[in-house]
Structure 1
Amino acid sequence: MIRKIENLFDEQVRPALAAHGGNVEVIDIDNGKLFVKLSGGCQGCSSSSATLKDGIERMVKQNFPEIEEVVDLTDHASGDSPYFS
Protein backbone atom coordinates (compact mmCIF):
# COMPACT_ATOMS: atom_id res chain seq x y z
CA MET A 1 0.00 0.00 0.00
CA ILE A 2 2.88 2.40 0.70
CA ARG A 3 3.95 2.10 -2.94
CA LYS A 4 0.44 3.00 -4.11
CA ILE A 5 0.34 6.01 -1.78
CA GLU A 6 3.78 7.08 -3.03
CA ASN A 7 2.42 6.92 -6.60
CA LEU A 8 -0.55 9.09 -5.61
CA PHE A 9 1.80 11.58 -3.98
CA ASP A 10 4.12 11.59 -7.01
CA GLU A 11 1.26 12.23 -9.42
CA GLN A 12 -1.01 14.57 -7.48
CA VAL A 13 0.50 15.90 -4.25
CA ARG A 14 4.21 16.50 -4.71
CA PRO A 15 3.90 18.69 -7.83
CA ALA A 16 1.65 21.12 -5.92
CA LEU A 17 3.92 21.13 -2.88
CA ALA A 18 7.01 21.58 -5.06
CA ALA A 19 5.48 24.76 -6.49
CA HIS A 20 5.91 26.21 -3.00
CA GLY A 21 9.28 24.61 -2.32
CA GLY A 22 7.86 21.75 -0.27
CA ASN A 23 7.66 17.99 -0.21
CA VAL A 24 5.99 15.15 1.70
CA GLU A 25 7.55 11.87 2.80
CA VAL A 26 5.66 8.72 3.78
CA ILE A 27 7.07 7.44 7.07
CA ASP A 28 4.79 4.51 7.97
CA ILE A 29 1.29 3.07 8.05
CA ASP A 30 -0.04 1.62 11.29
CA ASN A 31 -3.56 0.87 12.56
CA GLY A 32 -5.30 2.83 9.81
CA LYS A 33 -3.01 5.83 10.24
CA LEU A 34 -0.62 7.16 7.62
CA PHE A 35 2.39 8.92 9.12
CA VAL A 36 4.01 11.59 6.96
CA LYS A 37 6.69 14.25 7.28
CA LEU A 38 6.61 17.57 5.44
CA SER A 39 9.83 19.26 4.36
CA GLY A 40 11.18 22.26 2.50
CA GLY A 41 8.77 25.17 2.34
CA CYS A 42 6.10 23.09 4.09
CA GLN A 43 8.16 22.73 7.25
CA GLY A 44 7.15 25.57 9.52
CA CYS A 45 4.59 26.95 7.05
CA SER A 46 1.50 28.42 8.69
CA SER A 47 -0.70 26.75 6.03
CA SER A 48 0.77 23.27 6.45
CA SER A 49 -2.01 21.97 8.71
CA ALA A 50 -4.63 23.02 6.14
CA THR A 51 -2.57 21.44 3.37
CA LEU A 52 -2.34 18.24 5.37
CA LYS A 53 -5.98 17.93 6.47
CA ASP A 54 -7.86 19.57 3.58
CA GLY A 55 -5.58 18.36 0.81
CA ILE A 56 -3.40 15.36 1.54
CA GLU A 57 -5.66 13.59 4.06
CA ARG A 58 -8.79 14.12 1.96
CA MET A 59 -7.10 12.73 -1.15
CA VAL A 60 -5.62 9.75 0.71
CA LYS A 61 -8.96 8.84 2.30
CA GLN A 62 -10.74 9.05 -1.08
CA ASN A 63 -8.26 6.68 -2.67
CA PHE A 64 -7.52 4.46 0.34
CA PRO A 65 -10.63 4.16 2.56
CA GLU A 66 -8.73 1.93 4.99
CA ILE A 67 -6.66 4.97 6.00
CA GLU A 68 -8.61 6.76 8.73
CA GLU A 69 -6.17 9.55 9.54
CA VAL A 70 -2.99 11.18 8.26
CA VAL A 71 -0.61 12.10 11.07
CA ASP A 72 2.01 14.83 10.62
CA LEU A 73 5.37 13.96 12.23
CA THR A 74 7.06 17.15 11.01
CA ASP A 75 9.09 19.23 13.46
CA HIS A 76 7.64 22.54 12.28
CA ALA A 77 9.55 24.54 14.88
CA SER A 78 12.83 23.78 13.16
CA GLY A 79 11.68 24.89 9.70
CA ASP A 80 14.22 27.32 8.26
CA SER A 81 12.59 28.44 5.03
CA PRO A 82 8.79 28.39 5.07
CA TYR A 83 7.05 29.68 1.98
CA PHE A 84 4.69 31.83 4.05
CA SER A 85 6.20 33.70 6.98
Structure 2
Amino acid sequence: MIRKIEKLFDEQVRPALAAHGGDIELVDYDNDKLYVKMTGGCQGCSASQATLTDGVARLVKQHFPDIVDIVDVTDHSKGDNPFM
Protein backbone atom coordinates (compact mmCIF):
# COMPACT_ATOMS: atom_id res chain seq x y z
CA MET A 1 0.00 0.00 0.00
CA ILE A 2 2.78 2.44 0.90
CA ARG A 3 4.46 1.93 -2.48
CA LYS A 4 1.20 2.69 -4.27
CA ILE A 5 0.69 5.85 -2.23
CA GLU A 6 4.29 6.93 -2.89
CA LYS A 7 3.69 6.40 -6.61
CA LEU A 8 0.57 8.60 -6.44
CA PHE A 9 2.57 11.25 -4.58
CA ASP A 10 5.40 11.08 -7.14
CA GLU A 11 3.11 11.32 -10.13
CA GLN A 12 0.38 13.71 -9.01
CA VAL A 13 1.10 15.42 -5.70
CA ARG A 14 4.81 16.25 -5.57
CA PRO A 15 4.96 18.00 -8.98
CA ALA A 16 2.23 20.43 -7.90
CA LEU A 17 3.87 21.08 -4.53
CA ALA A 18 7.30 21.47 -6.13
CA ALA A 19 5.95 24.31 -8.25
CA HIS A 20 5.67 26.26 -4.98
CA GLY A 21 8.92 25.01 -3.48
CA GLY A 22 7.25 22.37 -1.33
CA ASP A 23 7.15 18.64 -0.87
CA ILE A 24 5.36 15.99 1.16
CA GLU A 25 6.73 12.94 2.95
CA LEU A 26 4.79 9.81 3.78
CA VAL A 27 5.66 9.21 7.44
CA ASP A 28 3.47 6.21 8.30
CA TYR A 29 0.36 4.27 7.44
CA ASP A 30 -1.38 2.70 10.42
CA ASN A 31 -4.96 1.70 11.25
CA ASP A 32 -6.27 3.15 7.96
CA LYS A 33 -4.66 6.52 8.71
CA LEU A 34 -1.98 8.11 6.58
CA TYR A 35 0.57 10.29 8.38
CA VAL A 36 2.33 12.91 6.28
CA LYS A 37 4.85 15.70 6.79
CA MET A 38 4.92 18.77 4.58
CA THR A 39 8.33 20.28 3.85
CA GLY A 40 9.95 23.15 1.98
CA GLY A 41 7.55 25.90 1.00
CA CYS A 42 4.62 23.92 2.43
CA GLN A 43 6.01 23.95 5.97
CA GLY A 44 4.48 26.99 7.62
CA CYS A 45 2.52 28.05 4.54
CA SER A 46 -0.84 29.60 5.37
CA ALA A 47 -2.48 27.53 2.62
CA SER A 48 -0.98 24.19 3.70
CA GLN A 49 -4.12 22.90 5.41
CA ALA A 50 -6.24 23.74 2.38
CA THR A 51 -3.68 22.00 0.17
CA LEU A 52 -3.77 18.97 2.43
CA THR A 53 -7.55 18.66 2.78
CA ASP A 54 -8.75 19.93 -0.61
CA GLY A 55 -5.93 18.50 -2.68
CA VAL A 56 -3.91 15.70 -1.15
CA ALA A 57 -6.61 14.10 1.04
CA ARG A 58 -9.22 14.23 -1.71
CA LEU A 59 -6.87 12.60 -4.20
CA VAL A 60 -5.64 9.95 -1.76
CA LYS A 61 -9.16 9.00 -0.65
CA GLN A 62 -10.27 8.85 -4.28
CA HIS A 63 -7.57 6.28 -5.06
CA PHE A 64 -7.50 4.55 -1.66
CA PRO A 65 -11.00 4.64 -0.13
CA ASP A 66 -9.88 2.51 2.82
CA ILE A 67 -7.86 5.43 4.16
CA VAL A 68 -10.13 7.15 6.68
CA ASP A 69 -7.91 10.05 7.68
CA ILE A 70 -4.79 11.92 6.68
CA VAL A 71 -2.87 13.31 9.63
CA ASP A 72 -0.44 16.20 9.19
CA VAL A 73 2.51 15.74 11.58
CA THR A 74 4.34 18.82 10.29
CA ASP A 75 5.66 21.35 12.79
CA HIS A 76 4.48 24.36 10.82
CA SER A 77 5.96 26.81 13.35
CA LYS A 78 9.44 25.71 12.25
CA GLY A 79 8.97 26.61 8.58
CA ASP A 80 11.65 29.09 7.57
CA ASN A 81 10.62 29.72 3.97
CA PRO A 82 6.84 29.25 3.59
CA PHE A 83 5.30 29.88 0.20
CA MET A 84 2.58 32.17 1.64
TM over 0.5: yes
Matches of 1:34 and 1:77, distance apart in 2: 21
- Across the aligned residues of Structure 1 and Structure 2, the Cα RMSD in angstroms comes to 0.4
Identity of aligned residues (%): 68
Q: TM-score, normalised by structure 1?
A: 0.98
1:41 aligns with 2:31: no
In structure 1, list runs of 5 or more residues that go unmatched.
Answer: none
Matches of 1:12 and 1:34, distance apart in 2: 17
In structure 2, list runs of 5 or more residues that go unmatched.
Answer: none
Matches of 1:60 and 1:70, distance apart in 2: 9
2:27 alignment counterpart: 27
Residue 32 of structure 1 and its aligned partner are, at CA, apart by 1.0
Deviation per CA, 1:3-24, whole angstroms, max 9, x where unpaired? Answer: 0000000000000000000000
Q: TM-score, normalised by structure 2?
A: 0.99
Which aligned runs of 4 or more in structure 1 are off by greater than 6 angstroms? none
Letter in 2 for 1:72: D
